[in-house]
A and B are shown apart, each in its own frame.
Chain A
Amino acid sequence: MPTAPVPTPTPDKEDAVTPSFRLPTAAGTPYLFLLPGLVILGALLSVPLYKVVEYSLYDNVIVERNPTFVGLDNYRDILGDPGYWSAGFNTIVFTVGSVIGHMIVGIGLALLVNADIHPRARTFFRSMLVLPWIFTAVVVALNWQLLLNPFGLLNYVLDWLGLITEPLDWLGNPDLAMWSLLVISTWRGYPFIMVSFLSGLQTVPKELYEAAEIDGAGFWHKFWHVTLPQLKPVIFGVALLDLIWTFQLFPLVWLTTGGGPGRATEVLSTLTFRLAFVDFEFARAATVAVSILIISAAFTVLYLRNEARRL
């Protein structure tokens, strides 16, 4: 049989035109799948969400029996408050720093515990490394306060190593507090990324690595060109969740530094709490909350748009 200029078979790209496979049953099917989740979220959260927006338009909510409608006055006040902007700046530093920390440590450790080692050892290391996640925030905060105390273990070790002469006040020095908080937040948050990424890793077909190895790819090359692209959906989802989560992370910051010293580690979530439950200014707290909502929503729209492009 002549085989000369036969085109080499390539997978038909026709499906590229198809937006997505649809299970072509009754048109309502996807809604049925979403229904239970949306009903629960809608029933329980739409009223509270609405109330928060409403609070932000009144003065003295909760404290006063008849709060007065003040329109956007609270927003004007909040936006004119330098404390809000500095908390916003701290939030960005804290969120971006934490997420980067989570990602680097989490992904790095996921790769390490995914190595081909004895299954028992793997179980051991995986379980040990998830430990920072399973203690409640109060305990985490208090424990780190112990470790970072001027007379705590860290200073003791650093002193013993001759790295410092005076104990450092890790949580009380305005120049160090945010860094310390980032370390704590990274420690606390990496297991989520590690576990998620580890799960994602298992779905990468081995053939892809083999193919890359034949092409002479080294570890980094495989990571960049096989692992990461393959896990994009997982990474994007997890990163978004981590970002939103960290953006309003409250208990850890509040219990570790209380936003201090001064307001050096005050983030929007602690500011919100301070306004609500220290100052009893619930309307202003709601205003800050809505501003957080707007920022996060804008970010999420961008994310979803990007996701749509990827599909």
Chain B
Amino acid sequence: MTRHLPAWALAAATSAAALMPASLHAAEIEWLQWFAAENTGGFYEELVADFEAQHPDITVKLVTQPFGKVRESIVTDNAIGVGSDVLGLNMPWTTEFLEIGILEPLDDYLARDDNSFETDQLVEAPLGKIDGKTWMVPLNAFPFVMHVNMGLVEQAGFDAPPSSWDALAEQAAAISALGDGTSGLGMPFSSQPPSNGPILTFLPLLYANGGRIMDGTTPDFDNPKVVETLEFLQQLEQSGALAPGAASRTGGVDLEEFIAGRTGFLISPGVHSSSITSRNPELDYTLVRVPSNGAEAYRVHGWEIGISADSDNKEAAWTFVDYLLSPEVNARVAKASNALPGNLAALDTVRADADATLVKQMDILSGDTPVEEMRQSPKAAASWSLMTEELQSMLRGDQTPAEAASAVQARWMDLIQ
């Protein structure tokens, strides 16, 4: 478990095991996640209690971290040998964690006959093999959509949300021109951690343009589609369609300004619709597919689950994962977050009493291609942070879209050396 650490740490880990009476109990597992911090209503505590009632021989300890720290915590815990058994994950962390050897390959578990779910019913993106193996399973899924403030759209003289880039550019500029602190669209390109604005806004636009940034696990950023999409961003900026201060705009501010009714459009996960409607019921709100420039693809995001390679209770851990993926439980999890289920067999249950925005997401996205590329990137977090820096510089006018694209490409190549 700690074979890469020197003797003192080994002693540390062993004595830790001895000192923690709980770990003597063969079937206590820890579940490290941030979901219970996102949903403070006690849903996950109840879920765990329900599981324990069904499996009296297993206890689950809910270890909740703030989202911004989960990735670091998993690595730190692993280095000391106190990693949790079941891990809440995000797809972009996959390759990084593989290199450190944190994750247990799940292929054997998925191949079992007695699972409560069908593997081919799961949302596909997280299952895609890297190094020939599958490393995580989807708890739920959040497709990226564009949220629309219809009030502003109409005020600017349009009667329908944009579905193409051209329409988006025209409407966004018109909404910014309304003044009084309104903007067409926000680009949250702040360097403040997690500094991931481009993957929230730029990638969905790129995918709707039919572009990609990875070739397998190799960066491929300086391709014409990327440059074209960057040029579109630049055009939006130059026409005044973007909210001012992209370089200090955080995802949080981007969302809040939309909820406050000051932004026409917000490109973000569909899951935001519940916060939008609950926090500002007066907003004339709808959501649409991210405006397309020819392609029908969307960026998919979600909460994933994996098992720690160092876990002493992998069987119990899988029992718990299996429980989470069963259509009935998975439907509950999806509803609790107003998201789509990771197990598509639960889709109908979710749809049954889903709110209008969720139903709309399902309809919009039923035919499009889901894309998630960051999981292939060997250094995802560093990659998007560099992308943020170059995009800031491009929007500031310090470099052209083509220069930005090749700068990102060069720095990414540098990064994976």
Contacts and interface: CB of A to CB of B under 8 A. Distances in A.
A278 B247 contact: no
**Residue of B8, B96, B193, B257 contacting most chain A CB atoms (<10 Å):** B193
A285 B193 CA distance: 18
Nearest to B379: A279
B178 interface: no
B159 interface: no
Nearest to A169: B245
Interface in A13-44: none
A172 B4 contact: no
Contacts of A256: 192
The B interface is mostly helix, strand or loop, or mixed, namely helix
A200 interface: no
Contact of B181 (A62, A151, A279): A151
Nearest to B393: A262
A261 interface: yes
A169 B389 CA distance: 16
Interface string A178-199: 0000000000000000000000
B248 A145 contact: yes
A257 B4 contact: no
Contacts of B247: 169, 171-173, 260-261
B386 to A, nearest CB: 10
Interface residues of A, number: 37
The A contact surface, by secondary structure, is loop
B248 A254 contact: no
Given A151-B181, A172-B245, A279 B382 contact: yes
B101 interface: yes
A145 B96 CA distance: 31
B128 to A, nearest CB: 22
A149 interface: yes
Contacts of A136: none
B190 A47 contact: no
B101 A65 contact: yes
Contact of B385 (A141, A149, A278, A280): A278
B392 A280 contact: no
A165 B72 CA distance: 42
Chain B interface size range: 35 or more
B245 A150 contact: yes
A113 to B, nearest CB: 34
Interface in A37-61: 47
Contacts of B388: 260
A222 interface: no
Contact of B244 (A148, A169, A177): A169
A64 interface: yes
Contacts of B96: 280
A173 B393 CA distance: 10
Contacts of A280: 75, 96, 99-100, 379
Contacts of B389: 260-263
B68 to A, nearest CB: 9
26 contacts: A62-B4, A145-B192, A149-B245, A149-B253, A150-B244, A166-B244, A169-B245, A170-B248, A171-B190, A172-B247, A172-B392, A177-B248, A255-B193, A258-B190, A258-B191, A259-B191, A260-B195, A260-B389, A261-B190, A262-B191, A262-B389, A274-B382, A274-B385, A277-B75, A278-B381, A278-B382
Given A64-B4, A171-B248, A261-B248, 18 more contacts: A62-B4, A62-B79, A66-B4, A150-B244, A169-B244, A172-B190, A172-B245, A172-B249, A173-B247, A258-B193, A260-B192, A260-B389, A260-B392, A261-B190, A262-B389, A274-B382, A279-B415, A280-B75
